[in-house]
Structure 1
Amino acid sequence: MSSTRCAAALVARSIPVWLSVTRQSLLCAGFNTSAISAVRSRFASSATSHHLKRAARMYIAEERGSAYSPDYRVYFKDESGPISPLHDIPLWADRDQRLVNMVVEVPRWTNAKMEISLSEPLNPIKQDVKKGALRFVSNVFPHHGYIWNYGALPQTWENPRHVDPGTQARGDNDPIDVIEIGQRVAARGDVVAVKVLGALALIDEGETDWKLVAVDARDPAAAALRGVADVERLFPGLLRATVEWFRLYKVPDGKPVNQFAFDGEAKDKEFAYKVIDEVHEFWRALASGEVTDAADICKTNVSLQWSPSRVERAEAGALLAGAAPRGLPRAPPPHVDKWHFVSNI
């Protein structure tokens, strides 16, 4: 029996048990990552409310290359084959319920700085490289790695030619970032329907770098989390720790302390949704070819009939077929576990 069918049989016996089984335990049992992602996506809607069942789609994360090496990539597929997570996964998981899709790039407690590759066809996730070295975020005491699940919203783009009137800074040329605060530690490549609660305006090296605060719509606390005030009530100290994390995380690398617009205040969810609408329109202009001076971003997609960069499924399949074969992960460098003590300037 294939690993996918085996995993499906396990889940079919008890959906509640599936929700408590970790990805790592299934890996140890011999199931491959693609099988786990496929089955998790296939059965996730069984544990959600009716509106999530209607909105659910199956996305499969396929790892290529070796983790913690320059050839590592995470590609995405839907039921018909390879897709771009930036262009082909819809922004809205359920517009009526105001749920958006989040692509998880970095699971909580990990250090490898993974991100959607804007310059490559199909926009896989890869590890960021700076000055020829793979990037890992430093552990600034008392934090270890990323302190939430971290990722981005598909079909968004923070336009570097647009100066935000509130921050007085240009966009950072990336999809908008999301920090997901629910109790589950996600897996890299998960596509999660999230409820947006607010937004922080990081000014990172002079650029506006929005950080949306959100929660997995399936999280036990999701119903009680209606906005940033509820985050402080239910998770006291988390917003303060988040601001501190972003202010200091580059200091061990010799960079200055990051700044925030609005004095680090988290803006409410209505503000956040307006930002989402704005960056979605920026993306639409990008994907349609209306923006002509963004050659650094690959716009290849399989689903946007109005996009001049749309390709046929066979071409997308050929692109994935040319990626490096899956390999064993490499050991992260030993400095990843070092704790840095930084004065909270």
Structure 2
Amino acid sequence: MSYSVEERGRENTPQYRVYFKNAAGKYISPFHDIPIYANETENIFNAVVEVPRWTNAKMEIATKDALNPLKQDVKKGNLRYVSNVFPHKGYIWNYGAIPQTWEDPGHRDGDTGCCGDNDPIDICDIGSEVCSRGQVIQVKVLGTLALIDEGETDWKVLVINTEDPEAGQYNDIEDIRRLKPGYLEATLDWFRRYKVPDGKPENQFGFSGEFQSRDFAIKTVQDTHSFWKALICKKTDAGELSCMNTSMCDSPYYCSTSQAEAIVHSTDPYGDPEPIPSSADKWFYYEQP
């Protein structure tokens, strides 16, 4: 199935939103209405690109907003741009999330000893294409890294776009190590240090920073899908999360097409973008302990 996006508001402002539409042109939630699987038999997953490679704006699925559009994260009243920590420029992969997954903050992971971070599970696409914001791609899962972010389990799933010319050569985490030498080490280094310019300590990891296999990663994704199923059926307390969806008529959170249209049309129309602040291009250097 194909998907499209509709931008609202002015880019690089707190009002900017990216809403999603299905092939019929109807508004949907990328969190709840895009299926987790593109091909379940072959373990091919859908993934929503939030941040294209080499860019800095920390865009994310707005889990607490109706229809869950993409929006830029805000910290202390300012739009958030991920720092360039030498030698990394912006995000070093296409970064996004797998729909219909949820890292349950009420579930303590048996391997990491920490609860989930209350978000869909994250992906890092290592393919050669620089994707566009809001693009929905089909991916093969290759492995995962267990980031411990401020005491929460925040899985980072390494994937490759099935449309990548070299996708057939990648089937497990060791294929990345063999065919893209240094990429796993750079990924670990990026996640360890990316918050340091904000005055925070280096991040920690489960499994002593060792990447886990494809099979382990697929099971982790499937587990977060089961948590999401409980969430969307109201078997788990959603808290501040918006579970509004337009595709599951038996869900207590189902909304009609007209309701979804009213939500989108209540936001600011798309306008000329504001300039990206010069601080987003600043480079940070520091010695590792």
Query: What residue in structure 2 maps to residue 121 of structure 1?
Result: 66
Match of 2:240 among 283, 296, 306: 296
- Count of matched residue pairs: 288
Map residues 257-268 of structure 1 onto 2, 5 A cutoff. Answer: 257-268=202-213
How far has the Cα of 1:95 moved from its partner?
0.8
How far has the Cα of 1:318 moved from its partner?
1.4
TM-score between the two structures when normalised by the length of structure 1: 0.83
Query: What residue in structure 2 maps to residue 29 of structure 1?
Result: none
Query: What residue in structure 2 maps to residue 243 of structure 1?
Result: 188
Map residues 183-202 of structure 1 onto 2, 5 A cutoff. Answer: 183-202=128-147
Q: Kindly provide the amino acid, as one letter, of the partner of residue 328 in structure 1.
A: D
Tell me if structure 2 keeps the 8 A contact 1:248–1:342. no
Q: Verify: 1:310 aligned to 2:258, yes or no.
A: no
Q: For the residues of structure 2 that align with 1:142 and 1:205, how far apart are their CA atoms? A: 24
Identity of aligned residues (%): 52
Query: What residue in structure 1 maps to residue 116 of structure 2?
Result: 171
Query: What residue in structure 2 maps to residue 148 of structure 1?
Result: 93
How far has the Cα of 1:319 moved from its partner?
1.2
Tell me if structure 2 keeps the 8 A contact 1:65–1:72. yes
How far has the Cα of 1:312 moved from its partner?
1.1
Q: For the residues of structure 2 that align with 1:190 and 1:279, how far apart are their CA atoms? A: 22
Give per-residue Cα distances to partners, 1:261-303, cap 9 Å, x unaligned: 11111100100011011100101111101112x2210010011
Between 1 and 2, higher relative CO (CA 8 Å, sep ≥ 6) is seen in 2
**Aligned with 1:86: secondary structure?**
coil
TM-score between the two structures when normalised by the length of structure 2: 0.98
Match of 2:269 among 317, 325, 331: 325
Q: Kindly provide the amino acid, as one letter, of the partner of residue 305 in structure 1.
A: C
**Aligned with 1:171: secondary structure?**
coil
How far has the Cα of 1:317 moved from its partner?
1.4
Query: What residue in structure 1 maps to residue 288 of structure 2?
Result: 344
Q: List structure 1 segments (4+ residues) > 2 angstroms apart after TM superposition.
A: none
**Aligned with 1:305: secondary structure?**
coil
Query: What residue in structure 2 maps to residue 88 of structure 1?
Result: 33
Map residues 52-91 of structure 1 onto 2, 5 A cutoff. Answer: 57-80=1-24, 81-91=26-36
Query: What residue in structure 2 maps to residue 28 of structure 1?
Result: none
Query: What residue in structure 2 maps to residue 31 of structure 1?
Result: none
Q: For the residues of structure 1 that align with 2:210 and 2:223, how far apart are their CA atoms? A: 20
Q: For the residues of structure 2 that align with 1:318 and 1:79, how far apart are their CA atoms? A: 19
Q: What residue ranges of structure 2 are gaps of 5+ in the alignment? A: none
How far has the Cα of 1:306 moved from its partner?
2.4
Q: For the residues of structure 1 that align with 2:12 and 2:126, how far apart are their CA atoms? A: 25
Q: Verify: 1:227 aligned to 2:187, yes or no.
A: no
Q: Kindly provide the amino acid, as one letter, of the partner of residue 337 in structure 1.
A: D
Match of 1:218 among 150, 160, 163: 163
Q: For the residues of structure 2 that align with 1:343 and 1:195, how far apart are their CA atoms? A: 35
How far has the Cα of 1:334 moved from its partner?
0.8
Q: For the residues of structure 1 that align with 2:207 and 2:92, how far apart are their CA atoms? A: 22
**Aligned with 1:280: secondary structure?**
helix
Q: For the residues of structure 2 that align with 1:344 and 1:285, how far apart are their CA atoms? A: 42
Tell me if structure 2 keeps the 8 A contact 1:251–1:342. no
Give per-residue Cα distances to partners, 1:105-156, cap 9 Å, x unaligned: 0000000000000111100000000111100000000000000000000000
Q: Which one has a bigger Cα radius of gyration?
A: 1
Q: For the residues of structure 2 that align with 1:267 and 1:79, how far apart are their CA atoms? A: 35
Q: For the residues of structure 2 that align with 1:186 and 1:282, how far apart are their CA atoms? A: 28
**Aligned with 1:170: secondary structure?**
coil
How far has the Cα of 1:344 moved from its partner?
2.2
Q: Report the more deviating stretch, 101-110 or 77-86.
A: 77-86
Q: For the residues of structure 1 that align with 2:20 and 2:288, how far apart are their CA atoms? A: 39
Q: Kindly provide the amino acid, as one letter, of the partner of residue 210 in structure 1.
A: W
Quick check: which one's helix share is greater?
1
Q: What residue ranges of structure 1 are gaps of 5+ in the alignment? A: 1-56
Give per-residue Cα distances to partners, 1:309-335, cap 9 Å, x unaligned: 001111111111112100111111111
Q: Kindly provide the amino acid, as one letter, of the partner of residue 174 in structure 2.
A: A
Give per-residue Cα distances to partners, 1:51-82, cap 9 Å, x unaligned: xxxxxx11001111111101000000013310
Q: For the residues of structure 1 that align with 2:250 and 2:153, how far apart are their CA atoms? A: 29
